[in-house]
């Protein structure tokens, strides 16, 4: 019985592992905003896309921001943006 349980755990872990996203924070000054692409670029050159939870009109050029983001499809996608 424990052998089948172990196999089930391994299979379930393999199924859900790709769904895990790495989360991180970054700080910087907004250099530019692309409304059409729902993205912005920081003064260090980092381009960040916005999730649906973040309003694009809340991002202003020149603002100092702290961004919480997740890697999705190889891109940093902001889950929250806080202006300093």
For the chain, the domains span: 21-83
Q: What is the pLDDT of residues 2-52, one digit of tens each?
A: 766 666 666 655 555 554 556 789 999 999 999 999 999 999 999 999 999
Which tokens hold the place of 14? Answer: 């393999």
CATH of domain 21-83: 2.40.50.500
CA distances 63 to 22, 25, 53, 58, Å, are 25, 16, 19, 10
In which band, very low, low, confident or very high, does the pLDDT at 71 lie, cut at 50, 70 and 90? very high
CA distance 39 to 75: 11
Q: Is the pTM of this model over 0.85?
A: no
Which tokens hold the place of 55? Answer: 């309003």
Predicted local confidence at residue 83, as pLDDT: 92
């Amino acid at each position: 019985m424990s052998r089948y349980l172990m196999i089930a755990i391994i299979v379930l872990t393999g199924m859900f592992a790709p769904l895990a996203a790495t989360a991180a924070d970054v700080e910087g000054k907004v250099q530019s905003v692309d409304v059409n692409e729902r993205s912005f670029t920081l003064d260090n050159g980092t381009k960040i896309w916005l999730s649906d939870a973040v309003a694009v009109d809340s991002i202003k050029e020149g603002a100092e921001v702290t961004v919480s983001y997740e890697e999705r499809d190889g891109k940093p996608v902001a889950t929250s943006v806080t202006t300093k």
